[in-house]
Structure 1
């Protein structure tokens, strides 16, 4: 795992395929290639152990996060009669014992099933979850206006104790056929994306760093945005501070009790090691958790469970990783000017 801090997940995949290919030559009676494969794997394992040896679990002073995992069924998530129950469950969990130690509360993707632009009361209600002097970071759909037409974005907002939205982020890496329909002109009229709310979701401008009171700067990511290497933080050319942690809000309830949520968690963990920064992940039905810059789990909530996780925010790996400094340009597979491999399907 630690090798991705140097070569990234693409480089590790290449090394894995190379080791497997070398091992196949044993069938021809050749022993040197398989031996080389064993040496390669041993070197990777030894280097990973050396990298982690003596590393302390440092945390950011004065920051205690509460991750809320409501485990609300996907079939009820957008049900009009169940929306208020959904919101009530988030508020009750946010107020669970131990709240006096919490500085910031984190809810998962689209935790608030209302549009704040249309349902103006909703930010005042969810402000009840805000700790004294802190913020609530939550997923929420938002309405906008672009070129005279209404738009819907899958967003994250930071809400203060007064119910004001002090910062926001719009998901930029949308799910084809899930949040929008590519090649719509070829499809039957009236066809909708799986997760669309009456219309295709509109993409945000791209990765960004948010600097909020009481928190180190961070890069918000919604759902599967966390799976794309070299696309989870703003490009080096973008002005502003480099984020000190990754925040991933997601809803894996679509997959139920399958391997999907576990795979999503494992990939998200890999981004933490690549970037050398901690990952905080809040998921509707799990897996929610906090991971340090070396990929070690500080705490987590199991898939399908309901509850909260209170955890300190791990400190960033100072100076970044070799992958961040040099590896992106070597192992990035995207065309110039594109931040994601599925750029051909982009709704822009």
Structure 2
């Protein structure tokens, strides 16, 4: 079961070997069928989940290596430790599906409960919904664009439900597999139709200058080169805004659009909210732009720390918008209560109130997101004040040149499709990128590169069904696939002789 689960992790980005799930999940289901009871089925599901998440999160060890002098002993425990917390989300569906008879009813119960418990991962600590199986369709290029379009209706969790159902079809024999192929063809046809029938409107969103300083995490921690880091970002901003202005003159489609520059999470090596001179220097470097968005730490009057992004308005760099990260990273930005020792220095950080929309002078309404919180499906845009685009600032330098930053980038793409909103992402060491409202990549600046990406942000689509109703849609779908099995149990009980 450990091996089957670990093999299933090959389906996640950036490998995207999703056909492997059609082997791993039938192996798991056969093991569940062969268990002596529901407890044995739970144990098999737990081991499968342990293998799946340990392999899928192997890159967490790189974050420990950054502080290996202190936490070297946690290196082999990082991924398995997180997997131990997540594995029950696979164990419980394995046990509960034994309530239904073997065959298609049990498969339906398993798929529905897997989806519901997987969605429940948002309630673990501050939430850890990383690598849902629906993300396995985020392969690069047009194929991925097509296959993730239904997320505009059912979200990534709805795609997870469909993925598990498809993965279990080989258990039904040749006819079921042919039905699965037909279902895939219909899925692709629907995705293509959604792309074709919902053209991206021009809109009035800005030309974004996404700055990637490529600052190693060890340099950020040591704080010995703060002035050099600040100068690097100023120089990149100056060059990026100048290039954006030249391109705007050469391209009539960009004419009249404001320019906005974006620095990654914690890019400013200090407390920008308290440093008026630094804000003026940033505004001078971005002269000609309408606004800048800068990642920084922020202290409040109570001595608590927040991970924030500030919006600076031209020409003097005054603070026109402030956003505090709402979903904090467990073990990275705060210590969960059950941890018997401290990993995060001090008392950790304080979360912000949640999704907000900025209305900045001369810039279309924008929803800011900081790093990790972009993985939370259905929680990235203010439903009462819908923005025209989203911006995500992040720092993935902790995780090295591994699958972690690629998986993180894939979630950004999925959020664009779910919400029907374009999204721009500025990352410290990569991968900086932008996607239109269909999730189509508009450009990227790869890993370990210093520079900037100038990209014209397209318009927003009308609010999607998922953007309106959120995660209630996949919840209802998951419950819906359970109804046939529940109906069977009701009929069986009515026919039982007295």
- TM-score norm. by structure 1 comes to 0.85
8 Å Cα contact 2:268-2:296 kept in structure 1: yes
Higher strand share: 1
Q: Distance in 2 between matches of 1:332 and 1:142?
A: 37
Q: Which has the larger radius of gyration?
A: 2
Report the equivalent of 1:339.
Answer: none
Equivalent pair of 2:200/2:461 in contact (CA under 8 Å): no
Q: Offset of 1:168 from its aligned partner?
A: 0.5
Question: Among residues 377, 382, 388, which one is paired with 1:244 in the alignment?
Answer: 388
Contact 1:59 1:312 in 2 (8 A): no
Q: Does 1:138 align with 2:294?
A: yes
Q: Which residue of 1 aligns with 2:160?
A: 13
Please identify, of 91-100 and 262-271, the stretch whose mean Cα deviation from structure 2 is larger: 91-100
1:208 to 349, 356, 359: 356
TM-superposed CA distance for 1:99, in Å, is 4.6
Give secondary structure in 1 for the equivalent of 2:176.
helix
Q: Using a 3 Å threshold, how does the CA distance of structure 1 residues 74 and 133 change in structure 2: closer, same or farther?
A: closer
Distance, in Å, in 2 between the alignment partners of 1:291 and 1:15 is 24
Secondary structure, aligned partner of 1:207 = coil
Per the TM alignment, residue 53 of structure 1 is displaced from its structure 2 partner at its CA by 2.0
CA distance in 2, matches of 1:125, 1:90: 11
C-alpha distance in 1 between matches for 2:196 and 2:323: 37
- Distance in 1 (CA, whole Å) between partners of 2:273 and 2:433 is 30
Match of 2:261 among 105, 115, 122: 105
Summarize deviations over 1:131-162 as a string: whole Å, max 9, x none: 325111110111102xxx31111001011221
| From 209, 222, 228, the counterpart of 1:79 | 222
The answer for the alignment partner of 1:336 in structure 2 is none
CA distance in 2, matches of 1:10, 1:56: 25
Q: SS where residue 300 of structure 1 aligns? A: strand
For the residues of structure 2 that align with 1:211 and 1:61, how far apart are their CA atoms?
14
Spell out the pairing of 1:72-221 with structure 2 (5 A cutoff): 72-96=215-239, 97-100=242-245, 101=248, 103-132=259-288, 134-145=290-301, 149-160=302-313, 161-183=315-337, 187-188=340-341, 191-193=342-344, 196=345, 198-221=346-369
Query: Is 1:290 matched with 2:424?
Result: no
Report the TM-score when normalising by structure 2.
Answer: 0.60
Residues of 1 paired with 2:204 and 2:376: CA distance? 30
Tell me the distance in 2 between the aligned counterparts of 1:168 and 1:275: 22
Secondary structure at the counterpart of residue 78 of structure 1: helix
5+ residue gaps, structure 1: 334-348
Kindly tell me the number of residue pairs found equivalent between the two proteins.
315
Render the CA deviation track for 1:8-52: whole Å, top value 9, x for unaligned: 1011011011011012333xxxx2211111111111101111111
Q: Give SS of 2:300's match.
A: strand
- Which structure has more relative contact order (CA 8 Å, sep 6+)? It is 1
CA distance in structure 2 between the aligned counterparts of 1:327 and 1:158, rounded to whole angstroms: 28
**SS at structure 2 position matched to 1:150:** coil
Counterpart check, 1:305 vs 2:449:
yes
Deviation track 1:43-86 (CA, whole Å, cap 9, x = no partner) reads: 11011111112654544347211110111111101322211111
Q: Distance in 2 between matches of 1:285 and 1:158?
A: 21
Secondary structure at 2:222's aligned position in 1?
coil
Tell me, what secondary structure is at the counterpart of 1:121? helix
1:253 paired with 2:397, answer yes
CA RMSD of aligned residues (A): 2.0
